[in-house]
């Protein structure tokens, strides 16, 4: 290939190279990662599963999870609730309260 052709190939491929968007992935909303665990049983985004948890207020969810932490003997959901700190429960509840 002649030098001129090589230059042309280079120039053309540079010109048509797709522009890589300079977007930085936005951080997911606080609590979403924690809440994704709930969706396995409660359905995607908190509905369509065992019990609908989408549409509840944050304070309702906090209250229910705190009660579950104390239930004895613990059932499945009570054991689950015991795994979260107060801070995590607040984050979870605030996120879940945004879902309908
Ligand atoms: C392994 C399955 C499973 C997972 C994971 C799970 N849950 Fe549950 N959850 C249940 C079951 C089953 C019930 C109903 C029985 C009960 O209350 O023990 C329930 C009930 C609830 C209730 C009461 C609903 C009502 O209207 O009475 C709330 C609130 C709740 N879960 C929140 C959560 C949250 C928040 C998460 C994530 C941190 C979560 N659950 C994860 C299985 C699960």
CATH number of the domain to which 48 belongs:
1.10.760.10
- For residue 67, pLDDT over 70 is answered with yes
What percent of the chain has pLDDT above 70?
77
What confidence category does residue 12 fall into, taking pLDDT thresholds of 50, 70 and 90? low
In total, how many domains does the chain have?
A: 1
pLDDT value at residue 18: 55
Question: Residues 95, 35: contact at Cβ < 8 Å?
Answer: yes
In a domain, 50, yes or no: yes
SS3 49: coil
Inter-CA distances, 49 with 11, 55, 57, 96, Å: 55, 14, 18, 15
81 located within any domain: yes
Q: Please indicate, yes or no, if residue 7 is contained in any of the structural domains.
A: no
Range of the domain at 59: 29-100
Q: Give the whole-angstrom CA distance, residue 18 versus residue 91.
A: 39
6 within some domain? no
- Say how many Å lie between the CA of residue 86 and the centre of ligand 1: 17
First-last CA distance in the chain = 63
67-76 average pLDDT score? 97
Whose CA is closest to atom 3 on ligand 1? Answer: 41
CA of 19 to the centre of ligand 1 (A): 45
For residue 63 the two structure tokens come to: 């209250």
Q: Is residue 5 domain-resident?
A: no
Query: What residues are in contact with ligand 1 under a 6 Å CB criterion?
Result: 37-38, 40-42, 50-51, 53, 61, 64-65, 75-77, 80, 92
Q: Which residues contact 54 (CB under 8 A, 6 or more apart)?
A: 42, 45, 46, 47, 96, 99, 100
Residue 91 located in a structural domain: yes
pLDDT, average across residues 68-73: 98
Is 87 contained in some domain? Answer: yes
What integer is the mean pLDDT of 7-34?
A: 69
């Amino acid at each position: 290939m002649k030098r001129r052709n090589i230059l042309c190939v280079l120039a053309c491929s540079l010109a048509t190279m797709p522009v890589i968007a300079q977007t930085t992935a936005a951080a997911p909303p606080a609590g979403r990662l924690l809440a994704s665990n709930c969706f396995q049983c409660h359905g995607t985004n908190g509905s369509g599963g065992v019990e609908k948890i989408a549409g509840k207020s944050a304070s309702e969810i906090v209250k229910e999870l705190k009660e579950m932490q104390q239930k004895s003997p613990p059932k499945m959901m009570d054991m689950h609730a015991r795994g979260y700190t107060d801070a995590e429960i607040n984050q979870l509840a605030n996120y879940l309260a945004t879902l309908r």
